[in-house]
Structure 1
C-alpha cells in the first residue's frame, strides 16, 4: 500500500483558555493509505500534550513506524493490521489515525458511510454543544447569547481559572433559562474546592460538571456530596476508569480511545456500568470530527457532544461538519464522507 504522513497546523481565530493552559494552534498529522485498487483512506492523529500528556514527537515517531508496517503489508484491512501497529507502538493518539483511515477506506470501497458500517439504524444528526473558554464575564456572555441565537441548546463553559462565578452568571443571563450549561474544570480543583465551587455555581442551573477533579476516587467523592451530575473526562484514560461507575457520565474522545472501533467499545462499557456516554474533541481536525460524528450517530447519542469546534479555526473547514441549529448532520458520503484537505 502507498502511505503518506503529513503535518498540518490549524490556527485558532481566538486562543482557547482552559485550566491546563492556552492553545492558539492545533497541529495534527494526516495519514493517507492508498491500496492497489486506488481507493484512498484518510485518518488523523491529534494529540494535545498540555491536555493528554502525549508529545507531538512521540506521535510522529509512532506514525512513521506504522507507515513502514503499512507499506510492507498486503492490501487488506482488519484487526490484524491494527494489532501489528499496536505491537510496534501502543499509542492510542497515533493508532486512531490508522483506524480512521482503514474505516474510511472500507466505507469508500463499499460505497457506504462509516455510520452505516457500524449499524443499520444510525441517527441522521448529532446534537452538539458550543464551547466557551475561560473568558472574562462580558465576553462569555456575548458568546452565550450568540450560541443561543445560533440554535445551540447547550454550552460548555471552561472553569477552574479566573472568575468562575461572574463567568457562569453572565452565561446564564445572556443565554437565557432554556440554555443548558455544562461546566468543564479540566481537573483544576481538589475535592473540597470542587464541592464548594459546584455548590456555589449550582444556583445557575447546571446540566453537569465535567472533570471537576482528577482520579476515580476523587470523582466519586465529589459526586457523593453535590446535587449536580458529574462527568469524567481526563480520568477516563486511567485503566478501568470508564467502567468504574465513578461518574454519572463519561466524555469519550476518539484520539484518547485509539480510533472508531475502540471508541464504540468504550461507549458500550460506559453504558454497561450504568453511565451516560457522550463524545467530544480536543479541537481535532475535520477527519477526527467526522469520525466522532459517525460514531455518535451510530450510537444514537442524545446528550450534546462537544464536536462543534471546527469553526474555531482560522482556515476553511468542510461545510458538512459545521453545526446547524445545534446539531451536526452525519455525512452521507462513503467512508468518513468528507474530502480534506482539498
Structure 2
C-alpha cells in the first residue's frame, strides 16, 4: 500500500470566539492510501487543540508512524490495519484519518457511497444547523436572518462569551418562531451559573437545547434536573465516553474525536441504548471530515439538526467544489463512490 501525507491549513473568514478561545484557522492532515490494485482512499486528521487538547504536531507524528504500518500491510484487512495503527499510537484524531481512508477506498471499490455500505436505506439529505459566531448583537442578528432566509430551521449561538442574553434575543427576533434556537456554551459555566444563564436565556422564548453548559457527568445531570430545557453533552464524551450520555437528553458525536466512522457508529449505538438522542457535528473539519460525518448521520437517520454546515466559514469555501451543498437547511449526501 502506498501512503502519502499532506498538511493542510484552512483559514476562517471571520475569527470564531468560543469559551475555550478564538479560532482563526484550522490545521489538519490529509492521508491518501493507494492499494495494490490501484484503489485510492483519502482520510483527514483534524485535531483542534483548544477544544480537544491534542496538538497538531502530535497527530502528525502518529500519522508518520501509521504510514509505516500501512506501507507494510501484508494483506491485512481494514480493521486489522486500524488495530495495528492503534497499537503504535492510540490517538483518535490520527486514527480517524486511517479509518476514513479505508472506508473511502472500500466505497470506491464497491462503486457506492459510504452510507450505502453502512445501511440499506440511508437519508439522502441531513438536517443541519447554521452556526452564529458573531459576538455583537447586530452581526449575530444579521447572520441569523441570512440563515433563516437560506432555509435553515435551526441556528446555533455560541454563549458564555459576552452579552449572551441580548445577543440571543436579537437572534430570536431575527429568525422568528419558525427557526429553533440552540445554544452552545462549551462548558463555560459552573452548575449555578448555567442554571441562572439558561433561565435568563429561555425567558424570551423556547430553546431547542443547550450543548455542554457545564463539563462533567454529575454537573450535567445537576443542570438537567434544574432547568426546563433539553441538555446536550459534547466535550464530556471525550473524558467519560459515550456511556456518560445517560446524564443528558442528547449527545453530540464527532468523527475526529471518536476516531473515525467505525468508532462514531459504535458510540451512537451506545448513546441510543442509554435513551439519549444522538446527532453529529464537526470541529470545523475539512471536506473529508464533513463528508464522513454526513455519511454517518445519513446512515443513522439522525433527526436533530447536525453541526456540519461549516465549510462556508473557511476562506475560499470549498463546500460546493467538494459536492457538499446545503439546500433548504439540509446537507445533501454525496452520491458518488466513497466519501465524496
Establish whether TM, by shorter chain, passes 0.5. Answer: yes
How much has 1:258 moved relative to structure 2?
Answer: 0.3
Q: Does 1:144 align with 2:147?
A: no
2:336 to 333, 336, 340: 333
Contact 1:242–1:250, Cα closer than 8 Å, also in 2 = no
Query: What residue in structure 2 maps to residue 324 of structure 1?
Result: 327
* Distance apart, 1:243 and its partner CA: 4.3
CA contact (8 A) 2:212 2:233 kept: yes
Tell me what 2:62 maps to: 62
Equivalences for 1:1-342 in 2 at 5 Å?
1-203=1-203, 204-319=205-320, 320-337=323-340
TM-superposed CA distance for 1:75, in Å, is 4.8
Paired with 1:215 and 1:134, the residues of 2 have a C-alpha distance of: 27
**Structure 1 residue 205: Cα displacement:** 1.3
TM, length-normalised to structure 2: 0.97
SS at match of 1:315: coil
In the TM superposition, residue 322 of structure 1 has moved relative to its aligned partner by: 2.6
Partner Cα distance (1:177, 1:235) in 2: 31
Q: Alpha-carbon deviations, 1:142-184, whole Å to 9, x = none?
A: 0110000000000110000110001100000011111100000
For 1:297 and 1:75, the matched residues in 2 are separated by 31
Secondary structure at the residue paired with 1:238?
helix
Q: How many angstroms does 1:133 deviate by?
A: 1.4
Judge conservation of contact 1:209–1:228 (CA < 8 Å) in 2: yes
Runs of 4+ in 1 over 6 A off after TM superposition: none
Per-residue Cα deviation, 1:41-83 (whole angstroms, up to 9, x for no partner): 0000000000000011110111101011101113553211110
Say how many residue pairs are matched: 337
**Cα distance, 1:33 vs. partner?**
0.1
Question: Residue 340 of structure 1 corresponds to which residue in structure 2?
Answer: none
State the Cα distance separating 1:246 from its structure 2 match: 0.4
Structure 1 unaligned regions, length at least 5: 338-342
Alpha carbons of 1:183 and 1:244: their partners in 2 closer, same or farther (altered >3 Å)? closer
Task: Say if 1:73 and 1:300 are closer, same or farther in 2 by CA, change over 3 A.
Answer: same
Distance in structure 1 (CA, Å) of the matches to 2:317 and 2:163: 33
**8 Å CA contact retained: 1:107, 1:113:** yes
Kept in 1, the 8 Å contact 2:245–2:251? The answer is: no
TM-score (norm 1): 0.97
Q: Structure 1 stretch 133-142 or stretch 165-174: which is displaced more?
A: 133-142
**What whole-Å deviation, never above 9, does each CA across 1:270-295 have from its counterpart, x for those lacking one?**
10000000000000000000000000
Deviation at 1:324, TM superposition (A): 1.2
> Are the aligned partners of 1:285 and 1:310 in contact in 2 as well (CA < 8 Å)?
yes
Distance in 2 (alpha carbons) for counterparts of 1:240 and 1:129: 24
- Unaligned stretches of 5+ residues in structure 2: none
Q: Is the 2:168–2:201 Cα contact (8 Å) retained in structure 1?
A: yes
**What is the alpha-carbon distance in structure 2 between the residues aligned to residue 21 and residue 64 of structure 1?**
29
Task: Work out whether residues 217 and 244 of structure 2, in 8 Å CA contact, stay in contact via their aligned partners in 1.
Answer: no
Indicate the RMSD between aligned Cα atoms, in angstroms: 1.0
Are the counterparts in 2 of residues 311 and 322 from structure 1 also a CA contact under 8 Å? Answer: no
CA distances 1:117-143 after superposition (whole Å, capped 9, x unpaired)? 000010110000000115101110001
1:54 & 1:334 partners in 2: Cα distance?
Answer: 31
Q: SS of 1:83's equivalent?
A: helix
